[in-house]
Structure 1
Amino acid sequence: MSDVLALIDNEVKSNDVVLFMKGTPDFPMCGFSGQVVKILDYVGVPYKSINVLENDEIRQGIKDYANWPTIPQLYIKGEFIGGCDIVRELFQEGELKKIIANHGIEMAAE
């Protein structure tokens, strides 16, 4: 399992924005993953998505990595932001854009 955690750690730390999700941005396989994709697309931030359904070790490993029981999980500049409910709340309050901007990540112009 340590190899999987190292792989996850590398993805989280080497990408500005990473979304561990069920499915892909084009074909989310759960409603919660789909909601986070829509939020990230709306905000206009580029992100890497990792489909946890393709690998059971990553699916369990990401839960262990963050000590968070659910998927999707969003990371910005190596920091665990949260799952669907937290991301949605941050977005609705205008905080998600602030977090992204404070980390120096470019967003598409509105």
Structure 2
Amino acid sequence: MSSPEAFDKETVIETIKEQIEDNSILLYMKGTPNMPQCGFSAHAVNAIRSCGKAFSFVNILEHPEIRATLPEYANWPTFPQLYVNGELVGGCDIILEMKESGELQDVIDQAK
């Protein structure tokens, strides 16, 4: 029988997988798009919004279990984290670099 911690972590991982599968554009961030709670999340939101497509988000400040588990699941240590069509795009620096090059628009346009 697994320990409660292992069960909880498995449940959180299942939740994360479902969120990523169910949302073609998903940003894990601190705060909300209308009220980001860190500069990196604010920059990411602005870059994604500039692409003109709606996106979903998870406020990791309201979900400490996701905040603790996602970096390990994604093998990406920081927030925000952007997923498009189930794939990790990256964090703030990568999102901003992709916006500058025009690549972010292409990736967002391919969202289902």
The total of aligned residue pairs comes to 104
Corresponding residue for residue 14 of structure 1 = 22
RMSD of equivalent CA atoms: 1.0
Q: Which ranges of structure 2 fall in alignment gaps of 5 or more residues?
A: 1-8
- TM-score norm. by structure 1 comes to 0.90
The alignment partner of 2:107 has SS state of helix
The alignment partner of 2:83 has SS state of strand
The alignment partner of 1:53 has SS state of coil
Distance 2:87 2:41 in 1: 18
Q: Which ranges of structure 1 fall in alignment gaps of 5 or more residues?
A: 106-110
The alignment partner of 1:43 has SS state of coil
After the TM superposition, which residues 19-34 of structure 1 pair with which residues of structure 2 at under 5 Å, given as runs?
Answer: 19-34=27-42
**The structure with more radius of gyration:** 2
**Residue 68 of structure 2 corresponds to residue 66 of structure 1:** no
- Whichever residue aligns with residue 39 of structure 1, its letter is A
Q: 2:89 aligns with which of 81, 89, 92?
A: 81
Corresponding residue for residue 52 of structure 2 = 44
| 1:100 Cα deviation from its structure 2 partner | 2.1
Stretches of 4+ aligned residues off by more than 4 angstroms:
none
- Whichever residue aligns with residue 56 of structure 1, its letter is P
| 1:51 Cα deviation from its structure 2 partner | 0.2
- TM-score norm. by structure 2 comes to 0.89
Distance 2:108 2:64 in 1: 30
Corresponding residue for residue 108 of structure 1 = none
| 1:22 Cα deviation from its structure 2 partner | 0.2
